[in-house]
Amino acid sequence: MEWKISETGRPAPGDIERRGNKLLISNGYIGYRGTLEEFNRDQKTATIVSGLYDRVAHLWREPVNLPNGGFVQIGYAGELLHVLTSKVIDHSQSLDLQHAVHERQTTFETSDGTRITIRSRRFASLARRNLLCMEFSVSADRACEIDICTGIEGNVWDINGPHLTALAAREQKGILSVSAVTHENAIQIAVSEAVVLPSGRNRVYGQGAQLSAASAFREFRVALVKDGFTFHKIVAHAFGLDCEDPLATSRQLCRQAAGVDFETLLAEHAALWRQRWENCDIQIEGDPAAQQALRFSMYHLLAIVPAHTARASIPARGMSGQMYKGAIFWDTEIFMLPFFTHAFPRLARNLLLYRYHTLDGARRKAREYGYRGAFYAWESQDSGDDACTLFNVTDVFTHRPIRTYFRDKQVHISADIAYAFWQYFTLTGDASIWIEGGAEVIFECARFYLAYIYYNPDRRRYEILDVTGPDEYHERVHNNAFTNRMVAHTFEVCLKVAALLRQHSRGFYDGLMEALCFESDLAAIAQIAPRVFQPDSAVPGTVIPQFDGYFTLENVSLPTLLGRKLHPTEYFGGGSGLATTTQIIKQADVVLMLSLFSERYPTETKSANWEYYESRTEHGSSLSTCSYALIAAQLGKVDWAYQYFMKTATIDLAGEAKQYVGELYIGGTHPAGNGGAWMSAVFGLCGIHCVDLCIAINPHLPAHWSKVTLPIICQGQMLRITLTHEAVTVLPVVPLEAQLSVSVEGSVHPLDPTAETTFPYHAWQGAENGLENACRAEIASTGFDRVHGEPCES
């Protein structure tokens, strides 16, 4: 059960989109929705390729949906067998998470009583990234003839398209192809298909290609006998950003793969997936539902990460379609990157370097608004220019667009990126990230805030005014606690990176300072950094105002607010949304800040703010629940932590997420929720945090979890950690190259570099901060930061 996700029964209309998201297959280069072979644009079939965008006229820019090479239609005596319109005796779809294979089995009954069963297996090859490989089988309960139509459907589903022009269908030496050109940048694309028929072709006849302006199909008739009929198809995708001649390239890839046995193609693909799971699989004993949900979450992260390049990143809806314009949000850095940093540091590095490659777009946006530095796009695509519009939501009552302030006021995006770079560095010790673009990103982000920040002469402090924080229901507020904390942290990171480079890479540092003309800005940042206003109180247990004036808003309960709705999908934010004049918030804001800077806040403050904001949070975003899970675990609220963990881990399994905001379709997968599930499990319930060369472990396991085993990479060294309710066991997967230590219940112990070490512990009894601080104290006691190679700051 834990490795297979299954759906049974004929899909109802409402199931089609949910299954298409849930059963997605992808290799990070191409993503193919979990639709059925006979489906078309009406059922939202989609083949999304990483990094390819297009804009038509004044419409929104979004990913290009390539022609559908997965199409297969079976006919019998003039009847087209379709799961939505034919008589279905039995139907199932499944996704093998371990090997990333989609499977389908359907038994139809025709009008004359013949029962025909089709089975298919398909995967987006991890070994050959351009390929979609499929095995398709047909059998019947009596000898009969069937018609098969397979090929490439060029009439595809688009939200803001059509994106392809000059479509042309061709056949060459048995290879079908559809080529086209995008509108905006005239990028050539091509999809080709090769079909491999079984030997002994006497049962197959009437083969022929049917070409139209947009599609290419091959049709043939098969005389079915007892053992049925199986064929294989190879679909190759290519586009002009990756090769000079996409049509020739796709044909060549088809021919090469068609000469390889299907089982061999599957085996090489599955072997790479097994390697991935060895680095990240978490085994939970005593809770099959949580085990499946967590593996499902990790699968969807692994499936969509663009391992082939550092010039692409993970969109907010993964590769499940064109929703949210296929844009990269802050979701990636804050909610997904921790998984990759702790399991696949090289991939985490790629995701960060995407921000370096799109730095010029962030500079252009800053200049657009009259600032210096890097103001990163709220919705980033291939160039880093902001795809976010000023009107993102439509009023369901007036049908007029609502002015939103996502693009121009969610300034925390640049600080989120700076935070992610620093987290990666402290967890991996990879100082080369600064030389290869990270330092430039940090300095330009800090420069933007230097230009944006406001000095209040009456209060003698620096403030951040007119912003929108994570809670998008309250726009254009002053001194949002999350934003202020993140800006201050960006300044701190800027100063630390500058100090590191001065000490260890002086020549590079001097060159970068000169190239950026940054010396005077750096001096100003050093003066301003400690004076950035933080709304949080020094008194433990104080509730932190989310922004200036928050506590003056109507203090209404969430059920009361929901009872005021006049339309099921009306937007709660904007100028007149229901939540804007109340304390009801869309998602974790202050609580997110507490989870990101956990070591800065005492337990009493975390408790007071969790209790206050939990009842006032709608969780209208998949980014929200994991923050509440993390803080609940630290507070010993294990039942709450588990509840919120399961909510985020099952967001796409259950398919209960919002599908519309106003009239805007926002369906698709939720990779930020998937990353949040991993954080909730590892940082929250398992209580594991890496601090330099020390791993703090303070488990908060649910009572029914008897044991958890997981791998984690700290400072480039992989450990396998096993947790029970009585003990923590740590085993280096390979001999340690540097001395690591473990903090359990506030006591720091050195790890044996080669052998398993077990530490008994008692149930949770106190604040988690003590464990992390024990690690920090152990480092400070030496007077030297071994990771960063510099004296510790007092």
Hey, which residues are catalytic here?
472
- Long-range contacts of range 515-522, CB-CB < 8 Å, 24 or more positions apart? 516/440, 516/443, 516/444, 516/447, 518/443, 518/447, 521/443, 521/446, 521/447, 521/450, 522/443, 522/494, 522/495, 522/498
CB of 627 closer than 8 Å to CB of 588 = yes
Q: Which amino acid is located at 777 in the chain?
A: A
CA distance 517 to 204: 72
CB of 785 closer than 8 Å to CB of 698 = no
Q: What are phi and psi of 697, to 5 degrees?
A: -130, 120
How many CA atoms lie within 13 Å of 229's alpha carbon, on the beta-carbon side?
24
**Location of structure tokens 């509730």:** 543
**What Rg value do the Cα atoms of the chain yield, rounded?**
27
| Three-class DSSP category at 509 | helix
| Burial of residue 643, with CB atoms counted within 10 A of its CB: 0-12 exposed, 13-18 middle, 19 or more buried | middle
For CA atoms 368, 374, 377, 380, give the dihedral sign.
Answer: positive
Task: Give the orientation angle of helix 439-452 with respect to helix 345-357, to 10 degrees.
Answer: 50
**Location of structure tokens 């219940």:** 745
| Three-class DSSP category at 273 | helix
CA distance 7 to 23: 9
Q: Which residues of 727-743 are buried (b: 16+ CB within 10 A; e: fewer)?
A: ebebbbeeebeeebbbb
**Location of structure tokens 């903090």:** 743
**Location of structure tokens 């302030």:** 405
Q: What are phi and psi of 45, to 5 degrees?
A: -65, 145
Q: Name residues whose C-beta falls within 8 Å of residue 530's C-beta, 6 or more positions apart in sequence.
A: none
CA distance 93 to 7: 5
CA distance 409 to 411: 5
